[in-house]
Structure 1
Amino acid sequence: MPVSLGLGLPQMKQYDIGRDVAAVARAAEETGYESLWVFERILFPEPATQGLYGVPGLPWPDQYRSVADPLITLALAAGATGRARLGTSVLVAPLHMPFQLARSLASLDAASGGRVVAGLGTGWSLDEYAAAAVAPFEKRGAVLDELLDVCAAVWGPDPVAYEGELTTIAPSEVGPKPVRPIPVYLPANSPRATRRLVDRADGWMPVAMGATQLAEQWKRVQDLAAERGRERPVGVCARANARYSAEPVGGADRAPFHGNVAQIVEDLVAHAGTGVPEILLDLQGTTRDAAELIDVAAEVYEAARAAGV
C-alpha cells in the first residue's frame, strides 16, 4: 500500500503568507499530497539561552527568524483546499491555554469539514517558555496531560465540565464541536512520553533522521503498545525535514533528506520501507519562494510515486 505523503506549508520569512499559503496548499492538493502541515516557533532569541533542541552550542537556523502562526496558516490552507488533512507537527502545548487551544482546534475542524490532525509536544526552548508558557518548563509534561484532558472534554458532549491545575470549566455548552474525533499525535522522546503516546494518543510523530533509526523506534513503540494491551493500531506520521539543493550533495555523511530531488526520493524510499504509513516532507526551509516550493514538491511527489513510494 503506498505511503501517504504530506507537505509542510510555507511559514518562513521568504514567503508572503497571505498569498503563498493558499497557493502552495492548493497546488499540493492538486499534485496529490494527502495532508498539509505546520510547525510552531514563536521567536528567535539573540543570543539564545540554549542551543537548538537544547544542545549546547548548536545554532538556531536562520529560517526560524520569522515563522507564521501555525493555526492561522492552517486556516488559510483550509479555505484553499477541500480534501487534504490539516496537521500540526507540532504545536508546543505549554505555550497555549488548554481551553482556548481545544476550542481553536475544534473550530478549525468544523470549518474544514473534519480534516484536522492535532500533533502536540512539549517543546525545548527555554526562551519560548519565558515569553509565553502557561507554566514553568519543569511542568511541561503535566501541562500536556491537562491539555489532552481538556481537549477530550471540550470536544465531547455537552455539558462540558473540568477541574484541573490550569483549567476550570463550569458545566457549560461549548461549541462548535469537531466534525469527528480529532486524531491526536504525540512524540515519543522518552520512556514517559512513549507511555503517554501508547495510552492516550491516536498516533506517533517521529522525526525521520535515518531509516534504521526510525525502524528501531517504531518497533519500540509497537512493542510497548502490545505490552500495555493497546488494541487499536498506532498511527504514524514521520516528519522529514528536507534541505533541498538543485545539485546533488556528496559525501558518505550526507544527512537524510539533504540533497537534490533524486536524493530526497531515495531517502523517502528507504524510510517508507520501515512500514510507517505516512511521511511529512517539509521542503520550505531551502526553497527560495512559493513558486520553487510548488515545483520541487511536485517533482518529488511524481518521482516518489514512480519509485513505488
Structure 2
Amino acid sequence: MAVRLGLGLPQMRQYDIGRDVPDVARAAEETGYESLWVFERILFPEPATQGLYNIPGLPWPDAYRSVADPLVTLALAATTTRRARLGTSVLVAPLHVPFQLARALASLDAASGGRVVAGLGSGWSLDEYAAAAVAPFEQRGEVLDEVIDVCRAVWGPDPVEYEGTLTTVAPSVVGPKPKGPLPILLPANSPRALRRLVDRADGWMPVGTGAEALAEQWRRLQELAAERGRREPVQSVLRVNTELTGKNYEGADRRPFQGSVAQIVEDLHAHAAVGVQEILIDLQGRARDAAELKDLAAEVYAAARAAGV
C-alpha cells in the first residue's frame, strides 16, 4: 500500500492568504493529496535572542518574517475541500491558552466533518515564549502535558471537569465536540518527549533528515512502546521540508530533500521504505506564488506516485 501524501499550505508572505489558501487546498485535493498541513511561527525577532532551533549563530530563514495563523489557514482550506485531512505540524502548544485551543480544534473538526489532526509541540524560540507563552520556557513540557489533558477532557463527554496548573473547568457543557476521534501527534526529540508520545499521544511527527536516522528513531520508538506496554498502533506522519532546485544538486554535501524533483522523489522513496504511514511535503518556501506552488505540487505528486511512493 502506497504511503499517503500531504501538502503544506501557503502561509508565507509571498502569498495572498485569503485567495491562495483555498485555491491551493482545492487544487491539492484534486491532484490526489490526502492531507493539508500548516506550521506555526508567530514572529521574526530582529535581532534574535537565539539562533534557529537554539543553535548559536544559525540565522532564522527569511521566510519566517510573516507566517499566517495556522488555524485560520486550516479554516480557509476546510471551506474548499471535502476529503483531505487538515493537520498542524506543529502547533506550539504552550503559546496557546489550553482551554481555548482545545475548543478551537474541536470546532474546526466539527466544521470540517472530522478531518483535523492535532500535531502539537513544545517549541524552541525564547522570543516567541516571551511574546505569547502562558508559562515560562522552562515549563514548556508541563504546559504541553496540560494542553493534552485539557484537549482530552474538552473533547470528551459532558460534563467536562478539569483542574490543572493553568486550567480549572467546573463541571460544564462544552461544545461543539469533535466530529470523530481527533488524533494528537507529537514529535519526539528527547527521551522525555519519546515517553510522552508513547504514553499519551496517538502518533508521531518526525522530520525527514535522512532515512537511516528515521529508521533508528522508529526502532527506538517501537522498542519503548513495547517496553511500556502500549497496545495501540502509533500513527506516523513524516514532515519533509524541501529545498527544490531547477536541476540536480551535485555537491557531496547535499542534504535530504535538497535538489531536483527527481532527487526529492528519491529521498521520499527511501524514507517511505522505513514504514511511515504518511509524508507531508512542504514546497511553499521556494515557490514564488500560488500558481508555481500548485505546479510544483502536481509535479512532485505525479513523480512520486510514478516512482512507487
| TM-superposition CA deviations, 1:35-90 (whole Å, max 9, x none) | 00000000000000000000000000000000000000000000010000000000
Q: Deviations over 1:239-275 (max 9, x none)?
A: 0000112222221211111111111111111111111
The root-mean-square deviation of aligned C-alpha atoms, in Å, is 0.6
Letter matched to residue 64 of structure 1: Y
Q: Select between 220-229 and 244-253 the one with higher mean Cα deviation.
A: 244-253
Moved over 3 A (4+): none
2:291, 2:257 → 1: CA distance?
A: 20
Which residue of structure 2 lines up, in the alignment, with residue 11 of structure 1?
Answer: 11
Q: Distance in 2 between matches of 1:249 and 1:80?
A: 36
Of 243-252 and 188-197, deviating more is: 243-252
C-alpha separation in 2, matches of 1:210 and 1:287:
23
Give 2:306's aligned amino acid. Answer: A
- Cα distance in 2 between the residues matched to 1:41 and 1:100: 19
Shift of 1:183: 0.4
| Aligned match of 1:172 | 172
**1:198-234 per-position Cα deviation (integer Å, ceiling 9, x unaligned):** 0010000000110000010011001100111100110
User: Secondary structure of 2:114's match?
Assistant: coil
* SS of alignment partner, residue 141 of structure 2: helix
Task: Tell me the equivalent position of 2:281.
Answer: 281
Gaps of 5+ in 2: none
What aligned pairs does 1:1-309 form with structure 2 within 5 A after superposition? 1-309=1-309
Give the whole-Å Cα distance in 1 for the aligned partners of 2:63 and 2:278.
Answer: 25
2:94 partner letter: P
Kept after mapping to 2: 8 A contact 1:187/1:206: yes
CA distance in 2, matches of 1:70, 1:249: 32
Q: Provide the C-alpha distance between the structure 1 equivalents of 2:228 and 2:280, rounded to a whole number of angstroms.
A: 28
Which digits, 9 at most, give the CA deviation of each residue in 1:81-119, with x for residues without a partner? 000000000000100000000000000000000000000
Alpha-carbon deviation of 1:191?
Answer: 0.5
**Which letter maps to 1:73?**
T
Provide the TM-score with structure 2 as the length reference: 0.99
Q: Summarize deviations over 1:265-287 as a string: whole Å, max 9, x none.
A: 11111111111111100000111
Q: Helix, strand or coil: the match of 1:7?
A: strand
With the length of structure 1 as denominator, give the TM-score of the two structures: 0.99
Percent identity, aligned pairs only, is 79
Structure 1 gaps, min length 5: none
Question: In 1, Cα distance between the equivalents of 2:270 and 2:252?
Answer: 16
